[in-house]
Homo-oligomer: A and B are copies of this chain.
Amino acid sequence: MGTVSRVLNGSPAVSAASKEKVAGAIRQLNYRPLASARDLRRDRTMRILALAKNLDSPIVSEAFRGVGDAAALSGYVSLIAPTAGEPEREQQLVDMLRNGSVDGLIMFSPTMADDEIEAVATQMSVVQLCEVADSEAAFGVSIDDRQASYDITQHLIKSGGRKLAMIGNRAARSGRLREEGFRWALAEAGLSPEHLLFADGDFNFHSGRSLTRELLGSDRLPDAVFCGSDTVAAGCVREITDAGLRVPGDIAVAGFDDSIQAEMCVPGLTTIRQPAYDMGRVAFDALFERMTEPGAHRRGRTYLPHELVVRDSTKG
C-alpha cells in the first residue's frame, strides 16, 4: 500500500485525511515496518557497527560515546560488538558490513593484519579509530602516539629522570608507536633505555604489577617509568609503593590516556589526555562522508591533539 509507505516516510504527497487515517491504524495495530524488507528495498540500513577487543577500557567507551552521539545526529544507529580478540568473531562481524547488515564499520582494536584491513577498507566504508594500521591506504583517526610518548618521556627527563624504563604493549599498533616515541626522546637526550618490558597477553593492572615486580627485582633500578596506559601505571605505582619505595620520590611514574584511573591513583598520575570523545565523533563524520558520497575513499590519517597532564606522580 503506497499511501501507508508515504505516511511512514513523511512524504508530503498525502492528504491530511489519509495521513490521519493511516496514522490511526498504525497506532491501533501497533504496526512497525519490517526492517529487513525496508533495508532490502533501500539497500541501506542506517546502522553502523563499531568493533573493539574489549569494552572495559575507558578510552573505548568514551570514543564509542562520541561515535554514537555523532551517528544519532545523522540519523544512524551505532551498534557495538566486542571481538574478544578472536579472529573468527572479528571476521563474522566484519562480514556484517560485507553482507549489508550495517552500512559502515569503525574498527578500534583489530586483530586482522594490516593488508586485510586495507582490502576491506578500499572497497567498503571503514574507518579506523585510535589503533590505525601503518598502511596509509585505509583511513584512521587517532592522536599522534609517537609524538605524545615523546612529549611525556621528555617530561620525565626534564623532571630529573636519567634511568628510564618503559612498560609497553607491542601487540598493539599504538603500543609500537609509543615505544618509538619513548626511544626518540631518550636518544635526543643522549640516554639509553634502562628497561623495556612488554605485556605478553593482557595489558592491565595485574600485568602492571607483575612487570614492575620484575623491574624492582633487577639490579638496575630505574628512576622513572613510562607506562603505556593509566591502568598499567596504577599497577606500577601500587607495586612500587608496596615495596616501600616512594612515587615520585624514588621512582617517577607516567601513564597514558588520562582515564579516571589517573585521578583515582595515589599519587595522581601524570599522563597523556586523548580526546577520545571527539575522536569518536570525527571518526563517524569521516565514515558518514564515505557512506554517503559514492566516490569518497579517504586515505591516510587525521590526528587529533593530545595534551600532557601533569600530576603528582612525576613531581620530583
Binding site for B on A (CB under 8 A): 32-37, 39-40, 45, 47, 49, 54-56, 58, 60-62, 64-65, 68-69, 72, 77-82, 84, 89, 92-93, 95-96, 98-101, 204-205, 234, 238, 241, 260-261, 263-266
14 cross-chain CB contacts under 8 A: A33-B99, A35-B39, A35-B101, A36-B39, A36-B100, A55-B61, A68-B82, A77-B81, A77-B93, A205-B260, A234-B264, A261-B264, A264-B265, A266-B266
Residue in B54, B61, B84, B96 whose CB lies within 8 Å of A54: B61
Q: Which residues of B contact A263 (CB under 8 A)?
A: 205
Q: Which residues of B contact A101 (CB under 8 A)?
A: 35-36, 47
| Contact in complex: A95, B32 (CB < 8 Å) | yes
- Complex Cα–Cα for A234 and B56 (A): 18
CB-based nearest B residue for A92: B77
| Contact in complex: A264, B266 (CB < 8 Å) | no
Q: Which residues of B contact A49 (CB under 8 A)?
A: 79
- Copies of this chain, complex-wide, total 2
| Contact in complex: B68, A84 (CB < 8 Å) | yes
| Contact in complex: A36, B45 (CB < 8 Å) | yes
CB-based nearest B residue for A123: B30
Q: Which residues of B contact A82 (CB under 8 A)?
A: 61, 64-65, 68, 80
Interface centre among A47, A89, A101, A204, by most chain B C-beta atoms within 10 angstroms, is A101
**Given known contacts A40-B40, A56-B61, A61-B55, A80 and B81 CB-to-CB distance under 8 angstroms:** yes
CB-based nearest B residue for A98: B32
Q: Which residues of B contact A100 (CB under 8 A)?
A: 32, 34-36
| Contact in complex: B264, A205 (CB < 8 Å) | yes
**Given known contacts A80-B81, A205-B263, A264-B264, A55 and B64 CB-to-CB distance under 8 angstroms:** yes
| Contact in complex: A238, B260 (CB < 8 Å) | no
Interface centre among A82, A84, A93, by most chain B C-beta atoms within 10 angstroms, is A82
CB distance from A230 to the nearest CB of B (A): 11
CB-based nearest B residue for A62: B56
CB distance from A109 to the nearest CB of B (A): 14
Q: Which residues of B contact A260 (CB under 8 A)?
A: 204-205
Q: Which residues of B contact A37 (CB under 8 A)?
A: 36, 40
Q: Return the 7 tightest CB-CB contacts between A and B, nearest first.
A: A36-B39, A55-B61, A36-B40, A79-B79, A35-B101, A32-B99, A56-B61
Q: Which residues of B contact A81 (CB under 8 A)?
A: 68, 77-80
Apart from A55-B64, A55-B65, 15 more pairs, CB < 8 Å: A34-B99, A35-B99, A36-B40, A49-B79, A56-B58, A56-B61, A56-B62, A72-B89, A77-B92, A78-B81, A79-B80, A79-B81, A205-B263, A205-B264, A238-B264
